[in-house]
Structure 1
Amino acid sequence: MEYVVASLILLAVLVVGAIGLVVPRRRRRELPPPAGPSVPSVDELPPLIGEPEAPVVEEPVVEAPARPTIETPEPTAGRLVRLRARLSRSQSVLGRGLLSVLSRDHLDDDAWEEIEDSLISADVGVEATQALVERLKERVRVLGTRTVSEVRAQLAEELTAALDPGMDRSLRTTPHDGRPAVVLVVGVNGAGKTTTCGKVARVLIADGRTVLLGAADTFRAAAAEQLSTWGERVGAETVRGPEGGDPASVAFDAVKRGIEIGVDTVLIDTAGRLQNKVGLMDELGKVKRVVEKHGPVDETLLILDATTGQNGLEQARVFTDVVDVTGVVLTKLDGTAKGGIVIAVQNKLGIPVKLVGLGEGPDDLAPFEPAAFVEALLGTDA
């Protein structure tokens, strides 16, 4: 009996203990979360006092490269007259020097020898000087030495005649037979050929021609870039090839492109070369032959540096043998007293001087006019 009572008591204690363990767990699961302020996330926390806020990074604005301003070259008509002051060094030799001697009351042998020396030192050339002096002697014998203005007029007539004003000095740049005119620019190293080529383009554009440039000087790294810059200034396209590439191929492509876009004139700059280097001269001949697959070259301009004097005549002779030079561009006349080289070139070679350079400005290249040139040489002192 006592065993039964003890067993019931033990069973009751176990049941009550089990209930105590189960009921609190159920209550904890059923209770709602306690009310109170919400805890912000890390991203929502405000910055600490004194902590700088992260800067706002803006995307950089990439501006399109500005197009070069297209320049309008000044007209070439009368340009030589406007630039006459640039011939001041030649004036002192061929102008004022000769006039001072010719205006003397009596011209003896010493005076005529002084006149000859002045002409030869101005690079007129020995043969041309002798012919010029003989004509002046005859004039003085017949007319006598009178006023300075009369002597000046006589001298101007003789110098102009020595320049052969009847020569055709026009640039053959008019398109024909459904293709543009082709102008080949040649010359020795250091004559300022690429720069002059760019100036010739400005001359053509100033006179109403549309121009395409061919950078066939592939040996000098900066030549193509330099020519392209000249073209960009006046809105002329430049065809160029890889550095060290075949010059003849570039020249051919330039003419082909000129035909495609219908320009008036294709102006091809070639590499400077020494006239005594046979291989280089042969290559120049190749450039011309390849270009002529499109048609004949209309104009071959030889760039001569006036400061080289009589050496320029030998250069011209060799280039003429290779590519048949049709005109001379005489540069740097403003920097020399040897303006007589113009007479020497024409008398010795029979090649007309078509353009003269009288400064470093982009429009300081002028069409050559014999009478205006002589007036500039003689100056205004009469």
Structure 2
Amino acid sequence: MTTVTMNRDETAPHRDLAQFRADFPILRTRVNGQPLTYLDNAATTQKPDAVIDAEANFYRTANANVHRGVHALSQRATDAHETARHKVRSFINARADAEIIFVRGATDAINLVAQGFAEPCLTPGDEIIVSALEHHSNIVPWQMACRRSGAVLRVVPVDDSGEFDLDAYAALLNGRTRIVAVTHLSNALGTITPVRRIIDLAHARGVPVLLDGAQAISHLPVDVRALDCDFYAFSAHKLYGPTGIGVLYGKTEHLQAMTPCQGGGDMIRSVSFDATEYNELPYRLEAGTPHIAGVVGLGAALDYVSAIGIERIAAHERELLHYATQWLADIPGLRIVGTAAEKASILSFTLDGIHPHDIGTMLDDRGIAIRAGHHCAMPLMQRLGITGTARASFALYNTHDDVNRLVAAVRRVCETLGS
């Protein structure tokens, strides 16, 4: 058996961030008798007490429907709901609270733009551009829109390292391009796409751009005005917040032009059997009773992340990714998948002759949670000539010790299952 000796001494910044581990109660869990090493943050992050308590406290002290009641609890719930909207606006530097639409998650947000913004304007032969890096949630809604309208989906290629091909993208843009929809940070490889250049090239032709920020939002500072993106979509549950709630940011003029895709509830101003007058933004795109407690939990998550500092978190994760990459790359038969020059938080790999699911299962036996498979990016896996990877993904509460356990466990997998 190979003996692994690694430096477990952490620098001051890591010790400072390590104190936040205590805020996440699930990290005290034991799995198969082992302490939990949670490295599946790209799928969902764990939740701090502040978020859990915010949701529970809402139900205990303010539970009522929003926007429709004159009684005290309804007003309290409405205040909490709209305060969270303002926190989102501030977090991503949108111009106005009305540019923040609450949805179920990033998938819901992308579908809303595809159906309510793009599809009503599409005609046969029009083109939509995505990239080979995309999650299924940023492919399938556009395929649906193309199928219904006769538009065509164009795909920006990536190279073997997972780099977005900017030259090929520029060549794809033309007079028939109606919208560009690309990821900000690849969930499968960790590639950070050159979003500012992508947006500038599209805007030079008058083409709007949607960024899928589901991965990026918890790892990179996001300023939608500095980026000048037209839409930005993200989910709370990858940002230390609740599941079932997310955000669509859109420039006011685009949101006003959108056709509501769902009807009922507070998205209306008046209704008769002859016609309906829609409400003002943001409510005209928010049909039905919202996930109020989830919105409150999202607000608490933003407070939590802001208090630590997203740039500080990003620096910690970059160092952790570098540390893990060095150690895993030293294992014979291990191939790191995704080596773009600009990447964050995600380390995908394969082992010669060993299925990713077997890697994941053996690591789980040792209390280590990773993701194994195609990561809802099957076209990308096909482009890279593989069926899937094992994926470790990092968050603010991960440490060198987590990486050390991962490396030791992967070496054990090689000794047990390797040829």
Fold-level similarity (TM above 0.5) = no
For normalisation by structure 1, the TM-score amounts to: 0.34
For normalisation by structure 2, the TM-score amounts to: 0.32
Between Structure 1 and Structure 2, the one with more strand by share is 2
Q: Which has the larger radius of gyration?
A: 1
Between Structure 1 and Structure 2, the one with more helix by share is 1
